[in-house]
Amino acid sequence: MAISSHIRTLMQNSSWIRRMFEEGAELKARLGADRVYDFTLGNPDLEPPPRFKEELIKVASDPSPGLHSYMPNAGLLAARQALAEMLSRVHHLDFKPHDLVLTCGAAGGLNVVLKALLDPGDEVLVPAPFFPEYLFYADNHGGVARVVETDHHFNLDLNRLSKAVRPRTRALIINSPNNPTGQMYDADTLKELGHFLTHHSGRHGRPVYLIADEPYRHLVYDGAEVPSVFAAYPNTLLVTSFSKDLSIPGERLGYIAVSPRAAGRGELEGALVLANRILGFVNAPALMQRVVAPLTDVTLDITPYARRRELFCDILANAGYKFLRPKGAFYLFPEAPGGDDLSFVAALKEEDILGVPGRGFGRAGYFRLAFCVPESVIQAAAPGFARAKEKIAG
């Protein structure tokens, strides 16, 4: 066998999103790409804001020497300083540059955090539905992901979480606004969660860290604001990126921010920096750090996402689908008519519509639709959505 048996197993279970994407590619090759309505991938299709391109040109034209060298593993001081100032303003806490580690996207940041926190066999609580990569990331570092169901509104269920906490529980990963549900936790929920984690940290004599994965923080609708996770609980690590805020996922830039109130702050920050290095990231992309440092207050104009959300919600509601209106991110997570997500996603495929079964996100009976596609695609898929629903559920 040329590869490890472990990675072979992981490859077999790798992801429903990939599987649907591959099936979609086959359908597109057969019918032509413009005849297939593909809602599988959360790949932002909007262009970055003009300020990003201006800054990119400026930085790329800078004749100063040494701009492409290695740097401290935590990232450029100027970038960390700019982020610390922005975070201090937003969260009313005194962030310092040493509280920040620039990473290769939120994905890199999550791996760095888990590497720093987990001993083999340590457990990480993951509320379902979840971003499927969390399970791989926990496994990457010898951790065990313990999946805990949320309620019917995808809100945290503290009773269930309470039953899942054990002496080996090291962290809980939350993601709000959420992929795949589009829902987000309000300030009261986070406050209760903070009390809950404080209680359980005390019980087992070591902190259970809250890892808040927030790449969709600025993609919220109807003027909503995402409450501060740092206000809710001291032992919090924020992991985020510019992938969605600036629509630059291919550039791989994100960061970790450690709460100034976190237990073991100094040692924890040292561990994150070492993890960033020895996982082989070394440091986050230099060019992007320079481009983004002056743009910490710039975000994408999300009007196109907001319009698509309106249109998609109207189409699904008119066809009789049951779903919660997304408050943020760019996903809809409706109930699968007939109850079986696999059969329903297959019925959609017969209409040349591609979605992802909910079981890929830890919640069977639902399916995910990503609206990172033009309004014309959503509109053109409307009759197919209506027919698929009628065929399955009558």
Q: Does 97 bind ligand PLP (CB under 6 A)?
A: no
Distances (CA, A) of 62 to 57, 66, 169: 9, 11, 48
Binding letters toward ligand PLP, positions 25-64, x by CB under 6 A: -----------------x----------------------
Binding letters toward ligand PLP, positions 226-255, x by CB under 6 A: ---------------x-x-----x----x-
Least separation in angstroms between CB 129 and ligand PLP: 11
Rank residues 193 and 319 by Cβ distance to ligand PLP and give the closer one: 193
Least separation in angstroms between CB 214 and ligand PLP: 8
Written as one letter, the residue type at 14 is S
Q: Which stretch binds ligand PLP (CB under 6 A): 105-113, 157-165, 221-229, 299-307?
A: 105-113
Nearest residue to 73 (alpha-carbon basis) of 40, 100, 113:
100
Rank residues 216 and 385 by Cβ distance to ligand PLP and give the closer one: 216
Q: Does 150 bind ligand PLP (CB under 6 A)?
A: no
Least separation in angstroms between CB 91 and ligand PLP: 20
Rank residues 49 and 215 by Cβ distance to ligand PLP and give the closer one: 215
CB 388 within 8 A of CB 350: yes
Our separate counts of H helices and E strands in the chain read: 14, 12
Binding ligand PLP (rule: CB under 6 A), the pick from 39, 52, 131, 330 is 131
Rank residues 288 and 388 by Cβ distance to ligand PLP and give the closer one: 288
Rank residues 179 and 259 by Cβ distance to ligand PLP and give the closer one: 179
Backbone angles phi, psi at 37, to 5 degrees: -100, 100
Least separation in angstroms between CB 302 and ligand PLP: 16
Strand 356-357 versus strand 367-370 pairing type: antiparallel
CB 101 within 8 A of CB 74: yes
Rank residues 234 and 254 by Cβ distance to ligand PLP and give the closer one: 254
Strand order in the sheet with 236-241: 100-103, 254-258, 236-241, 209-213, 169-175, 123-128, 144-149
DSSP string, 185-220: --HHHHHHHHHHHHHHHHHHTS--EEEEE-TTTT-B
DSSP state at residue 283 = S
Rank residues 169 and 240 by Cβ distance to ligand PLP and give the closer one: 240
Backbone angles phi, psi at 305, to 5 degrees: -65, -40
Q: Which stretch binds ligand PLP (CB under 6 A): 101-109, 114-122, 166-174, 275-283?
A: 101-109
Binding ligand PLP (rule: CB under 6 A), the pick from 59, 71, 107, 258 is 107
Q: 103 pairs with which residues across the strands?
A: 254
Rank residues 367 and 385 by Cβ distance to ligand PLP and give the closer one: 367
Rank residues 258 and 388 by Cβ distance to ligand PLP and give the closer one: 258
Q: Does 175 bind ligand PLP (CB under 6 A)?
A: yes
Distance CA 357, CA 365 (A): 8
Least separation in angstroms between CB 346 and ligand PLP: 25
Indicate the angle between helix axes 303-318 and 375-393, nearest 10 degrees. 20
Least separation in angstroms between CB 89 and ligand PLP: 22
Q: How many other CB atoms sit within 10 Å of the CB of residue 95? A: 23
Indicate the angle between helix axes 16-31 and 341-350, nearest 10 degrees. 20
The pair of structure tokens assigned to 70 is 């290695």
Rank residues 201 and 247 by Cβ distance to ligand PLP and give the closer one: 247
Q: Length of the chain in residues, anyone?
A: 394
The pair of structure tokens assigned to 67 is 């701009």
Rank residues 120 and 250 by Cβ distance to ligand PLP and give the closer one: 250
Least separation in angstroms between CB 44 and ligand PLP: 9
Interface size with ligand PLP, residues (CB under 6 A)? 13
Q: Residue with the closest Cβ to ligand PLP? A: 105
Strand 123-128 versus strand 144-149 pairing type: parallel
Contact positions toward ligand PLP, by CB under 6 A?
A: 42, 105-107, 131, 175, 179, 213, 215, 241, 243, 249, 254
